[in-house]
Amino acid sequence: MGQETVESAQLIILVVDDHEAVLGGTVSALKTQYPEAIIHTATTAQDAQAQVDRQIPNVALLDLSIPEAPSEQANTSAGLQLLRTLMQSYQTLNIVVQSAHVKSLIRLKPTINAHEGGFTVADKSASMQEMLTKVDWALQGLMFTPKEMRAGLEVKPEWLEVLNFAFQEGLQDRAIAQAMNLSERTVRNYWTKVQDALGVYPDEGINMRIQTEIRAREEGLID
């Protein structure tokens, strides 16, 4: 898969997991793709929050089942609360959820939908290459949620507006932003949301915008 990966120089990556062996494996895997990156680790929700408050990473990889504090038991509530807090406090933070509990993310659907940074999900059953692809997508600001999280096609009115401006009126992102009185960044974020809803992701030889138009017409979102 893949477009060119994001440059690794000066990248700061935070990996959050309470299993040492998992942390070690993930850090080593990340170093194969981002050899120059500075990789920090955290084993509790409190430590992860403190690290992000100290220095916002380019991307944070989070397990959902972690303890709130040292010597506490791991639980998904602590992981979900950390994720919620990070998304609300750092709206442009790029996040990868790497977990065996990805189904729990359904509880945060509205927060995930409103998030402006990249957001991807890598189940722990995924291969190393799939995980690295998801990290790269998150760094590009893209969105990927598992199919189970998407019950039917849910497209917000503002995303539809972007599609109409782009494919009915032929506007580029800057012009769309002006027409909708939004920032370009927000328009790009809406693109990633609607592409995730339509199941359009980067792949060899794929033109994302054209593929989005094809899928949008198939779903009847545009004429």
Query: Which residues of this protein are in contact with another protein, per CB under 8 A?
Result: 19, 21-22, 24-26, 28-29, 32, 65, 74, 100-101, 124, 127-128
Is the Cβ of residue 125 or residue 207 nearer to another protein in the bound state? Answer: 125
Q: What is the nearest approach in angstroms of another protein to the Cβ of residue 13? A: 16
Whether residue 150 contacts residue 124, with contact meaning beta carbons closer than 8 Å, is answered with no
- 107/124 with CB nearer another protein: 124
- What is the number of other CB atoms lying within 10 angstroms of the CB of residue 89? 12
- Residue closer to another protein by CB (options 64, 198) is 64
Least distance CB 46 / another protein (angstroms): 19
Question: Among residues 101 and 156, whose Cβ is nearest to another protein?
Answer: 101
User: In this structure, are strands 38-42 and 12-16 parallel, antiparallel, or unpaired?
Assistant: parallel
DSSP annotation of 121 reads E
Q: How many Å apart are CA 82 and CA 105, to the nearest integer?
A: 12
Supply the DSSP string of 96-120, one letter for each residue.
EEEES-GGGGGGGHHHHHH--S-EE
Least distance from another protein to the Cβ atom of residue 20, Å: 9
